Amino acid sequence: MKPSDKALVPFVSVDHMMQLIHHIGVQDMLRGLAGYIEDDFKRWERFDKTPRIASHSAEGVIELMPTSDGETYGFKYVNGHPKNMAEGLQTVTAFGLLADVDTGYPVLLTEMTMLTALRTAATSAVVARALAPKGAKTMAMIGNGAQSEFQSIAMQAIAGVSEVRLYDIDPAATAKCAANLAGSGLKVTACKTAEDAIEGAQILTTCTADKAYATILTDNMVGAGVHINAIGGDCPGKTEIAPAILKRGDIFVEYPPQTRIEGDIQQLADDHPVTEIWQVLSGQAQGRTSDKQITIFDSVGFAIEDFSALRFVRDRIEGTPYFHPLDLLADPNDPRDLYGMLNRAHP
C-alpha cells in the first residue's frame, strides 16, 4: 500500500534548489529572502532563542540551529570545516527542516548549502542597508570563496553597491569570483592585497575561512566612516578583525549570547557594549549616527535567519515542480497500530 498524500513531506534537493533559484532569479530570491528575514527580525521577541549547539573537532564544527515562533519550528544542520576546501569539499554544507508546532509534523525538508549562502548574503545586505554610510557604492570583498559572489550580488540587489574590489590569498579564488560576477552589472576589480581592496570602499566585507585568530583587517587599514560586514569570524578561536578596530567602532550583532562565544567580539570583554540588530531594524535602537562612525556587523549566522529562509522556500515551492514528496512520516491505519503498518507492508 502506498502512503497517503497527507503523510508526504516536500523535500527540496540541491538540484531542485538550484532550479528554484533560477526560476525566481538570484537577485529576486535575495530580495525575497531579505524581506522574510527583515520581517522575522522585526518580531524577534516572539522567537525561542538559544545559541547554536556546536560539536567542535580539531578540524571543524558541526552545529544544530533551532528556533520556533510558536506556530512553526525550524532547525538547520550545518558544518564549518576550513580544511575541506583543499580536499575538494565544501567548507560549509547544510540541510534544514520546518515543522508544524501544533502536530510536530515536518512540513519541509531542504538542502541548505545554497540556501545558507543566500540567506547569509541577504542578511548582510539588510544590515548594510541600515548601517552603511549613505550613498555607499563600493565594497571590498576579502575572501573570495563559496560565499563571495552571493555577498556581492546581495549588496548590489539590496544595499546599492555597484563596485566590488576582490582580494583573496589565493589568486585562483579571486579569478573564479571575478569570472562568476562577469555580466552581473557590478564593476569588479581584482586586487593584489587587502589594503588595495579596501581603497575607496565604504563597505568592507571579510569572508575568509581559517580556524585561527586571523587578522584580516588590522587597525591601521581601517579609516573612519566605513561599515564592516564581518562574516568569517563565526566560531570559537576563529576571528578576522583586530580588537583595536572593534574598540573604535560600534558593534551590531544578531544574538549576543551566541556572538559572544563565536563572533569577533570573543576577543573583547564579556560586557563590551553591543547593539542587537533587530532593535535597529524595528526602530528601537539607533544604527549609524554619524558619517565618521565605524559600524561593524559581527555576523555569525543565527537560527532565525534560517527559519526565514525555510519559510520562504516553503511558500515559494508551492505549485512548482521543484520538490520531491518524501515518505518521511509513519501513516498507520490506526495511530496506535504501528506494528500493523509493518504488517501492511509485508511483501
Encoded one letter per residue, x for contact with ligand NAD by CB under 6 A and - for no contact, window 222-261 reads ---------xx-x---------------------------
Joined grid coordinates for residue 347: 511483501
For CA atoms 310, 316, 317, 318, the dihedral sign is positive
Strands 295-298 and 227-230: parallel
**Measured from the CB of residue 61, what is the shortest distance to ligand NAD in angstroms?**
9
Task: Single out the residue of 109, 299, 308, 309 in contact with ligand NAD (rule: CB under 6 A).
Answer: 299
Q: Work out how close the CB of 301 gets to ligand NAD at its nearest, in angstroms, rounded to a whole number.
A: 3
Residue 315 is among the residues annotated as catalytic for this protein = no
- Asked if 85 is part of the footprint of ligand NAD (rule: CB under 6 A), the reply reads yes
Contact between 17 and ligand NAD per CB under 6 A: no
Least spacing, CB of residue 9 vs ligand NAD, in Å: 26
> Out of 59, 170, 199, 315, which residue is the one contacting ligand NAD (CB under 6 A)?
170
- What are the CA-CA distances from residue 201 to residues 165, 178, 189, 333 (Å)? 8, 17, 12, 63
Binding residue for ligand NAD, selected from 205, 208, 229, 266, defined by CB under 6 A:
208
Residues 88-107 that bind ligand NAD (CB under 6 A): 91-92
Q: Which three-class secondary structure string do you get for the chain?
A: CCCCHHHEEEEECHHHHHHHHHHHCHHHHHHHHHHHHHHHHHCHHHCECCCCEEEECCCCEEEEEEEECCCEEEEEEEEECHHHHHHCCCCCCEEEEEEECCCCCEEEEEECHHHHHHHHHHHHHHHHHHHCCCCCCEEEEECCCCCHHHHHHHHHHHHCCCEEEEECCCHHHHHHHHHHHCCCCCEEEECCCHHHHHCCCCEEEECCCCCCEEEEECHHHCCCCCEEEECCCCECCEEEECHHHHHHCEEEECCHHHHHHHCHHHHCCCCCCCEEHHHHHCCCCCCCCCCCCCEEEECCCCHHHHHHHHHHHHHHHCCCCCCEEEECCCCCCCCCCHHHHHHHCCC
User: Among 127, 142, 164, 241, which residue sits at the site for ligand NAD (rule: CB under 6 A)?
Assistant: 142
Q: How far is the CB of 11 from ligand NAD (least distance, A)?
A: 23
Residue 176 vs 316, nearer CB to ligand NAD: 176
Q: Interface with ligand NAD includes 15 (CB under 6 A)?
A: no
Active-site choice (5, 40, 196, 234): 234
- In the complex, least distance from residue 8 CB atom to ligand NAD, rounded to whole angstroms: 31
Interface pick for ligand NAD out of 53, 89, 169, 342 (rule CB under 6 A):
169
Selected binder of ligand NAD within 66, 80, 133, 249 (CB under 6 A): 80
Within positions 111 to 130, which residues make up the interface with ligand NAD, using CB under 6 A? 116, 120
Q: Closer to ligand NAD at the Cβ: 116 or 293?
A: 116
Q: How far is the CB of 169 from ligand NAD (least distance, A)?
A: 4
The pair phi, psi for residue 166, each rounded to 5°, is -95, 140
Distance CA 296, CA 217 (A): 12
Under the binding rule (CB under 6 A), the answer on residue 301 touching ligand NAD is yes
Does 264 contact ligand NAD by CB under 6 A? no
Q: Taking CB under 6 A as the rule, does residue 268 contact ligand NAD?
A: no
Residue nearest ligand NAD (C-beta atom):
145
Using the rule CB under 6 A, give the single segment among 85-93, 154-162, 265-273, 285-293 that binds ligand NAD.
Answer: 85-93
**Nine-digit cell string for 82:** 576550513
Which stretches of the chain bind ligand NAD, using CB under 6 A? Answer: 80, 85, 91-92, 116, 120, 142-148, 168-170, 173, 207-210, 214, 216, 231-232, 234, 299-301
**Residue numbers annotated as active site:** 234
